[in-house]
């Protein structure tokens, strides 16, 4: 969808902001551009909508050389979200959101209807917020309006320049989550500029790590964290890149252990092969757990003594979520279920298996093989 072919931006004073840049962004892909200030990432993005003109090479959007397109028409086809939002202070939230469709010739009533749909999509009830003005909103709410306005004309390409950088960390994380949900539904082609490697890792299908005017590495978040291409990339992503990689490594069935299992309507077992057992219902869905001590002392059925399971996650959740769940519930393991099969129990993830999964994932990326093909040595 977006292609850079040997693109250079050199200023009259001799400063080279972008140097011979070539890469592609596939349709529906979100690529994060990450790097320190002054490395050329924002210049790269602004050349896509011709806010900055390249001095060499060419940029194609959907196969068309953008240098042959009127800049105003081009910008109306590309969504643009910036850190300071840029809402019109004299217009209501609904009017702000309907701006681009109206400029493109959409009838006023249809433009406002489209704006209302998008406000609802980004979590702002148009009946509540539509008639408010930007200064009546919180920073996070203004950012949501900015995203809605960028999507109003249904552009195939979305450019985002540190859109969540001006809000506090809690709101920022919430906005990131909401945007990921939105992107999973709309599948826009997105260039997302950030200086925060954790944001880049969380949001990007691929990450472009910038040096000075050049991309040092362009790959999936897991590969960038697990196998940095250069010492510069390794230094930029940080010595704690193994911890960051937890957030992009999913739990897989092969990571799980199979503990003792009992069912709700079973008689209490007098002995267990472990200090506890997982309790399932008659369809093998997760219900809870029971300790060996309770089983040995109690009477009746398992259902009379089973405890609620608090520490659980669906398969495919990240190892970071698993680790956080263990800490939150002070648990030595978490149960893992298959949500698509009504909560069917798959196994448990222990700290040792979590560590193995991380090591196996790193080795698999380095060798370019599936995780199931990697054996890791463990110390008992």
Q: In this prediction, what percent of the chain has a pLDDT beyond 90?
A: 42
Mean per-residue pLDDT, 250-266: 91
Residue 119: CATH number of its domain: 3.40.50.300
CA dist 97 and 76 (Å) reads: 13
* Same domain, residue pair 230 and 336: no
Give the C-alpha distances (Å, rounded to integers) separating 346 from 249, 258, 284, 339. Answer: 18, 8, 9, 10
Residue 365 inside a domain? The answer is: no
Q: Is the pLDDT of residue 209 over 80?
A: yes
* Same domain, residue pair 155 and 257: no
Residue 205 inside a domain? The answer is: yes
Least confident of 91-100, 145-154, 193-202: 145-154
Using pLDDT thresholds of 50, 70 and 90, give the confidence band for residue 85.
low
* Same domain, residue pair 129 and 49: yes
Please, what is the Cα angle at 23 between 22 and 28, to 5 degrees?
155
Residue 11 inside a domain? The answer is: yes
What is the model's pLDDT at position 43? 95
Mean per-residue pLDDT, 345-354: 94
Q: Is the pLDDT of residue 4 over 90?
A: yes
Residue spans of alpha helices (H) in the chain: 41-48, 71-76, 93-97, 99-103, 108-121, 126-129, 139-151, 169-186, 197-203, 221-226, 231-237, 241-245, 292-297, 319-328, 351-367
* Same domain, residue pair 194 and 54: yes
Of 185 and 159, the one with more pLDDT: 159
Using pLDDT thresholds of 50, 70 and 90, give the confidence band for residue 378.
low
Would you tell me the crossing angle of helices 319-328 and 351-367 to the nearest 10 degrees?
A: 170
Count of CB atoms within 10 A of residue 214's CB?
16
Per the structure block, which two tokens stand in for 293? 């001590």
The helix or strand, by DSSP H or E, that contains position 196, with its residue range, turns out to be none
Residue 330 inside a domain? The answer is: yes
Name which of 7, 29, 41, 32 is nearest 207 in CA terms: 32
* Same domain, residue pair 207 and 291: no
- Domain residues for the domain of 290 are 253-356
Output the pTM of the full model: 0.76
Residue 319: CATH number of its domain: 3.10.580.10
Residue 362 inside a domain? The answer is: no
42-57 pLDDT, tens digit each: 999 999 999 999 999 9
Q: Is the pLDDT of residue 283 over 50?
A: yes
Using pLDDT thresholds of 50, 70 and 90, give the confidence band for residue 380.
very low
* Same domain, residue pair 273 and 349: yes
Residue 368 inside a domain? The answer is: no
Residue 377 inside a domain? The answer is: no
Per the structure block, which two tokens stand in for 317? 């959740």
Q: Is the pLDDT of residue 124 over 80?
A: yes
* Same domain, residue pair 106 and 170: yes
Would you tell me the crossing angle of helices 108-121 and 139-151 to the nearest 10 degrees?
A: 130
* Same domain, residue pair 243 and 261: no
Name which of 241, 249, 235 is nearest 35 in CA terms: 235
Q: How many domains does the chain have?
A: 2
* Same domain, residue pair 189 and 217: yes
CA dist 40 and 18 (Å) reads: 6
Residue 288 inside a domain? The answer is: yes
* Same domain, residue pair 59 and 139: yes
CA dist 245 and 231 (Å) reads: 17
DSSP letters spanning 226-263: HS-SSHHHHHHH-TTHHHHHGGG-B--GGG-B---EEE
Q: Is the pLDDT of residue 218 over 90?
A: yes
Q: Is the pLDDT of residue 202 over 70?
A: yes
What is the model's pLDDT at position 351? 93
Q: Are residues 214 and 39 in contact, defined by beta-carbon separation less than 8 angstroms?
A: no
What is the model's pLDDT at position 114? 86
């Amino acid at each position: 969808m977006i292609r850079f072919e040997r693109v250079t931006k050199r200023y009259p004073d001799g400063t080279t902001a972008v140097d011979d840049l070539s890469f592609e962004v596939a349709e529906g892909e979100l690529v994060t551009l990450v790097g320190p200030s002054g490395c050329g990432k924002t210049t790269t993005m602004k050349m896509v909508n011709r806010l900055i003109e390249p001095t060499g090479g060419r940029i194609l959007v959907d196969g068309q050389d953008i240098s042959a397109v009127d800049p105003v028409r081009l910008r109306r086809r590309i969504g643009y979200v910036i850190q300071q939002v840029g809402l019109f202070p004299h217009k209501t939230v609904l009017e702000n959101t309907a701006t681009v469709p109206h400029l493109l010739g959409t009838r006023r009533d249809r433009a406002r209807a489209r704006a209302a749909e998008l406000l609802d999509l980004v979590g702002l009830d148009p009946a509540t917020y539509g008639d408010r003005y930007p200064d009546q909103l919180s920073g996070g709410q203004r950012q949501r309006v900015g995203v809605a306005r960028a999507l109003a004309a249904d552009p195939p390409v979305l450019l985002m320049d540190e859109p969540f950088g001006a809000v506090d960390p809690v709101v920022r994380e919430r906005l990131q989550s909401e945007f990921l949900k939105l992107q999973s539904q709309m599948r826009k082609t997105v260039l997302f500029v950030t200086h925060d490697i954790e944001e880049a890792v969380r949001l990007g299908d691929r990450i472009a790590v910038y040096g000075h005017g050049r991309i040092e590495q362009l790959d999936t978040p897991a590969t960038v964290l697990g196998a940095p291409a250069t010492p510069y990339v390794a230094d930029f992503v940080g010595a704690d890149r193994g911890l960051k990689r937890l957030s992009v490594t999913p739990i897989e069935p092969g990571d799980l252990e199979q503990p003792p299992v009992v069912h709700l309507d079973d008689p209490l077992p007098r002995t267990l092969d472990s200090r506890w057992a997982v309790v399932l219902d008659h369809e093998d869905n997760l219900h809870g757990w029971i300790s060996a001590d309770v089983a040995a002392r109690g009477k009746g059925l398992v259902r009379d003594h089973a405890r609620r399971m608090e520490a659980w996650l669906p398969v495919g959740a990240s190892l970071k979520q698993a680790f956080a769940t263990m800490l939150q519930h002070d648990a030595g393991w978490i149960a893992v279920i298959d949500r698509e099969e009504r909560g069917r129990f798959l196994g448990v993830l222990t700290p040792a298996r979590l560590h193995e999964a991380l090591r196996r994932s790193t080795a698999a990326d380095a060798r370019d093989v599936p995780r199931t093909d990697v054996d890791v040595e463990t110390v008992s």
